[in-house]
Structure 1
Amino acid sequence: MVRGRRRAQAPAAKNGENPPHPLKTMKMTAEFQGKLSHASPASKITSYFASEEKKNDDKSLNSPRLSPRKHASTTSILQQANNIEKKSPHTIKIPEEVAEPKKLVKPRRKINVEESLECKTTKLTDYFPVRRSVRKTKKTVLEEKQRHIENAILSEREDGLEVHNFPGKGRGIVATRPFKRGDYVVEYAGELIPLDEARVREARYAQDQNTGCYMYYFVHKDVSYCIDATAESKRLGRLVNHSRYGNLVTKTLTVGGIPRLVLIAKDDINVGDELMYDYGDRSRESLFYHPWLAL
């Protein structure tokens, strides 16, 4: 015999009355009668947008039960990839290869040898004239200048010069036309003698006080020379006076195998300027007898 509580029996109904309602069991949990501090429950994003998972779950619930082999979880990886590829916006689709159309090859034209020989190739010069540069090279300019000086030496040209008498110096040369820098002015013309002969003549000229010294010493191609212009002549180059700051400079040239001494404009020379150049003699003996060489 098992002991236990007896269930309460409902009282019997009286005559003409409905049977009493069975006793209600006491609820173990009491309902909460008050309100929480956050009365309004927090809203979720799913209340505004339906979640896809719920839809999928609804579909799966509504759909008939499938066998394990036909269930979505057991589908192949390739089928899942295909489903994702259709839904994803970042899919990379490889375009199908399209075969390029074949290029049309033109048939080669047969060349007629006789016609090709008769046809002449046209040149640009057939339509436009050839324009040659007028500019001259530096070498060409120097060659032309050399020929110009040689012609002036051979023709003994001395135009643009005039003899003037200067107090304290005697005769001198003045320009009657302008000369530009580098122009040929005049040749220092005289007798070309070797160095030994020049020393002998210089000693003889020094004994005569009335005779001036018109001897010019220079070196050409490692050989010493002297031009003696002491003898009176019509050449004007021998009358050009000395100055350490002159406007002329000497230059040696070979004309016909003979060295010649010419005077070239060192600076631009105007009309009326006296022509002068540096004799270059600084010896004690020369300065003793000719102190104006230091000027």
Structure 2
Amino acid sequence: MLPMLKGMEQDKKDWETKAPEVHESNCAMHPDAFAVGDAGAKGQGLFVMRSIKKGTFLFDYTGEHLSQMEYNVRYPDSVSDYTVGLRLPNGGMNFIDGRHEVLGAPARFMNHDGRSPNVGRRTFCKEGVAPRVLMYAIADLQVGDELQWNYGDGYWAARSGLIEDI
């Protein structure tokens, strides 16, 4: 048991200082692994086209990087459907705006599920490196599954009058 614990401690340390390269993502290695399709009342969604194991690095949330000031100018009401916030090591905020399909694909097509999401995010912020949001499978995924993640409280707080239904 002790060697496994030592290995897990090293993995935990590595998690803070290292992140997989974009070319190591499931999306980069298997470009046909995901497809955008009809998600009913939610509009479009992102669907799995090949089985994926829990823990797999799927892809980065991509888009235009914005400072807090740039975000405030672009979205004065603090409402953006495709922007992900990142807390920086210095306590400031940065944002990745995936509103443009080319810049934000494929992550921008994932819908919300607050009860049982199958995708989780990892924020990677290291001094001297552009901040990243990495998306991981938090459950085994089967062909046809819709990729869904929890948008978080901030998303819903910025949308007064909306009720989180899932």
What is the deviation of 1:215?
1.2
Partner of 1:213: 81
Contact kept, 8 Å, 1:220 with 1:252, in 2: the verdict is: no
Q: Deviations over 1:149-192 (max 9, x none)?
A: 21436997263111111221111111112222211112110111
Mapped pair 1:185 → 2:58: yes
What is the deviation of 1:273?
0.6
Question: How many residue pairs were aligned?
Answer: 151
Contact kept, 8 Å, 1:282 with 1:294, in 2: the verdict is: no
From 111, 117, 130, give the equivalent of 1:241.
111
Contact kept, 8 Å, 1:202 with 1:213, in 2: the verdict is: no
Q: Secondary structure at the match of 1:227?
A: strand
Q: Secondary structure at the match of 2:140?
A: coil
TM-score by length of 1: 0.44
Measured in 2, the distance between the counterparts of 1:161 and 1:181 equals 16
Partner of 2:146: 274
What is the deviation of 1:254?
4.4
Contact kept, 8 Å, 2:26 with 2:59, in 1: the verdict is: no
Q: Which has the larger radius of gyration?
A: 1
Measured in 2, the distance between the counterparts of 1:287 and 1:179 equals 36
What is the deviation of 1:220?
2.9
Q: Deviations over 1:65-106 (max 9, x none)?
A: xxxxxxxxxxxxxxxxxxxxxxxxxxxxxxxxxxxxxxxxxx
From 118, 124, 137, give the equivalent of 1:253.
124
Contact kept, 8 Å, 2:27 with 2:58, in 1: the verdict is: no
What is the deviation of 1:213?
2.3
Contact kept, 8 Å, 1:216 with 1:226, in 2: the verdict is: yes
TM-score by length of 2: 0.74
Contact kept, 8 Å, 2:25 with 2:59, in 1: the verdict is: no
More contact order relative to length (CA 8 Å, sep ≥ 6): 2
Identity %: 24
Mapped pair 1:227 → 2:99: no
What is the deviation of 1:196?
2.2
Q: Deviations over 1:194-232 (max 9, x none)?
A: 1122122123796xxxxx721111213233111111123
Measured in 2, the distance between the counterparts of 1:156 and 1:270 equals 15
- Call closer, same or farther: CA 1:182–1:162 in 2, change over 3 Å: same
Q: Secondary structure at the match of 1:262?
A: strand
- Call closer, same or farther: CA 1:270–1:263 in 2, change over 3 Å: same
| One-letter amino acid matched to 1:225 | N
- Call closer, same or farther: CA 1:268–1:200 in 2, change over 3 Å: same
Q: Secondary structure at the match of 2:62?
A: coil
Q: Secondary structure at the match of 2:59?
A: strand
- Call closer, same or farther: CA 1:179–1:163 in 2, change over 3 Å: same
- Call closer, same or farther: CA 1:260–1:148 in 2, change over 3 Å: closer
Structure in which a larger fraction of residues adopt strand: 2
| One-letter amino acid matched to 1:228 | D
Structure 2, unpaired ranges of 5+: 1-5
